A and B are shown apart, each in its own frame.
Chain A
């Protein structure tokens, strides 16, 4: 069962599309879906004003695939709280994609805005290009970070990926901005590219693996040992790593793996191991 949405024309003011979710679509006819409410700026409009709708909807959430195309970079909150089913986005998409997602799958061909999968509890999100800031992170004031699920970014990511994460996995194939894994409690973050610094600030537990260069290591981490490999779920990365523990300013015991070959500036720490 596939429901296809396509953006009718370029939008100027932001569109809040919380109702685009397999959970909401399930059991509705295409005509009913077309009438679902969206916020366009401060106006409530039916979905059909913004999107063309076609296809066949299903009764059951997990059989439902929603395919969306057009420049969605100002469309927010798609797949919010979804529990099952699938959303495929053909191009770029805006902020808050899959917030508080509990299950199902979201794939994005293009770039995605900030707060991707905020406080998500389960399911998978895969982004082919870049992601914005605050991947999986809770909103201002909250410490309810990601509790489960997997987020994979094939491009680069912004700042504070995985803030307050408690469980789950974030994989970033490209580079990350500052503060990756800030306040990390548990769970794992794998960065295959470089990191801009301050990785693991305030972390108390969990694991961050950086296979590229880390611009600078916080002074509140202590070297623990050298490792010949790093492991995240089933995946094993076979190359030498420094293992640092921190953030000591928080009495933390988080693990920060930094690839030895890409981080010559950390060599001085090696003498502390002897």
Chain B
């Protein structure tokens, strides 16, 4: 029995409606409990206590991330981590090596991170890397929005069969949620084409993105998966794409029941562009916020821009090709048979560039104009809009108008003149930050034992050296950044793993995947699938599967499906 008491901290636990009350948090054997009698005590007086940070969308592992690492030695040279007795060495910056990724998240107080783009054919690769990413719990979303089986089932409106296939897929890839990236567009990219909007049919497949989105949304409902469908829209990163974003959200409106989210629209900053072209480009954050404020079936995350040299990487092959054309930088494209594509382009976000500066405002505008913080979560779409190590900065921008103004003074003049951000006064409270970085993320992911500090929750806790009673945080942005950069303590499963921003204990963390439970035999389609499989893939069916014990610490989460037998 291992016990721990965190005494006298200002506790922010939004899922239990605790807003900065001075409380003790008791931990026994990795779980939060009512009280403990003995064991170690952390004096957290004058400090902020929150559930461990949760990241719903961060590219940390797998084929694409690793190609990014390989592509950019120049990203690593000057940002290195030395080997210590406890920790492995590694490199940063925008695409850190696996060990370094785990340590850096943990140092900021994060304890759960989701890899949002796993090509099923290369699922083993993702899991091998997650296995080497210490300190945090993890999961990965298989890419299904251009998968041939999915497209064929949905074209035939065989939702039950498609659901059975997706359930099989979660098991085969040890996946956590359904990911759609430029639905249908990635199949078109197989021949160098794309789809124009959600009603433009996918070449050779006679199905529209709208049908794919709606279909997988229904499948997700049938399977009762813990997370909603996780959508990267068509036309991402194009001026005027907010129309596509609105249509994407609207197209599943009718499927919503009891005010519950049924779609997560990711890195929304890249999907809130107005204008005809890059010259007339402007923010459409108001249009998006207005819709989200009056509907409850979607959650979003920010994809906040940071002015830095980073690496863009998405499964959206055609989008990455456009970035290559714009920048002339080195470019990786990697199409995966029967499933998906991917692309990588190094990118420098510059303050003085009108488009980049406006993108910076869009992310913040969305977070500040959407009233309900449960609906918009904090991300940088690591590393696309900036590395996750910039979270302390993003938190500061949300909490302090002064911090935003300081940046505004230095950005492109036209942006400064036009951006709605200049007129926004709202500042997040620590309670709202706890929602945007923990509670809201865990809730959207359906991770019931994460994101809160109630009895029974996993003892994933972060303690920050920040005293909201003594310091007016909004006026002291540096204090916010400093505190969130280096957690005073990070506690993972009841163990102190970080103290004063340094790793003091290296732990592995689990990899979650969703095991669908149903009365129906989910593998009924197997013989049929196997036959098609031989035709569609260059690997054998048996060799495609990620075995149960493939990597250490795989942890199934069960979902009770509603498939009829």
The short answer to whether A and B are in direct contact, CB under 8 Å, is yes
Interface residues, chain A, with chain B CB atoms under 8 Å away: 138-142, 144
Which of B69-77, B96-104, B549-557 faces chain A?
A: B69-77
8 further interface pairs, Cβ-Cβ under 8 Å (given A141-B75, A144-B74): A138-B74, A139-B74, A139-B77, A140-B74, A141-B72, A141-B73, A141-B74, A142-B73
Nearest-CB residue, chain A, relative to B76: A141
A139 to B74, CA, bound (A): 7
Tell me which residues across on chain A come within 8 A of B71, comparing CB atoms.
141
Give the distance to chain A from B504, nearest Cβ to Cβ, in Å: 25
Interface residues, chain B, with chain A CB atoms under 8 Å away: 71-75, 77
Secondary structure call for the B interface = helix
Secondary structure call for the A interface = loop
A129 to B71, CA, bound (A): 35
Nearest-CB residue, chain B, relative to A138: B74
A142 to B346, CA, bound (A): 11
Tell me which residues across on chain A come within 8 A of B75, comparing CB atoms.
141
Q: Which of B72, B73, B74, B75 has the most CB of A within 10 A?
A: B74
Q: Which 7 A-B pairs have the closest CB atoms?
A: A142-B74, A141-B73, A141-B74, A140-B73, A141-B72, A139-B77, A139-B74
Give the distance to chain B from A120, nearest Cβ to Cβ, in Å: 16
Give the distance to chain B from A77, nearest Cβ to Cβ, in Å: 13
Tell me which residues across on chain B come within 8 A of A139, comparing CB atoms.
73-74, 77
Tell me which residues across on chain B come within 8 A of A141, comparing CB atoms.
71-75
Give the distance to chain B from A268, nearest Cβ to Cβ, in Å: 34
A-B contact pairs, 15 of them (CB 8 A): A138-B74, A139-B73, A139-B74, A139-B77, A140-B73, A140-B74, A141-B71, A141-B72, A141-B73, A141-B74, A141-B75, A142-B73, A142-B74, A142-B77, A144-B74
Nearest-CB residue, chain B, relative to A250: B328
A144 to B77, CA, bound (A): 13
Give the distance to chain A from B416, nearest Cβ to Cβ, in Å: 30
A42 to B77, CA, bound (A): 18
Tell me which residues across on chain B come within 8 A of A142, comparing CB atoms.
73-74, 77
Tell me which residues across on chain B come within 8 A of A138, comparing CB atoms.
74
A140 to B72, CA, bound (A): 8
A142 to B77, CA, bound (A): 10
A138 to B77, CA, bound (A): 12
A142 to B72, CA, bound (A): 8
Nearest-CB residue, chain A, relative to B70: A141
Tell me which residues across on chain A come within 8 A of B72, comparing CB atoms.
141
Nearest-CB residue, chain A, relative to B75: A141
A22 to B77, CA, bound (A): 24
Nearest-CB residue, chain B, relative to A140: B73
Give the distance to chain B from A205, nearest Cβ to Cβ, in Å: 14
A138 to B73, CA, bound (A): 11
Give the distance to chain A from B126, nearest Cβ to Cβ, in Å: 24
Give the distance to chain A from B66, nearest Cβ to Cβ, in Å: 15
Give the distance to chain B from A204, nearest Cβ to Cβ, in Å: 10
A153 to B523, CA, bound (A): 71
Q: Which of A138, A139, A141, A144 has the most CB of B within 10 A?
A: A141
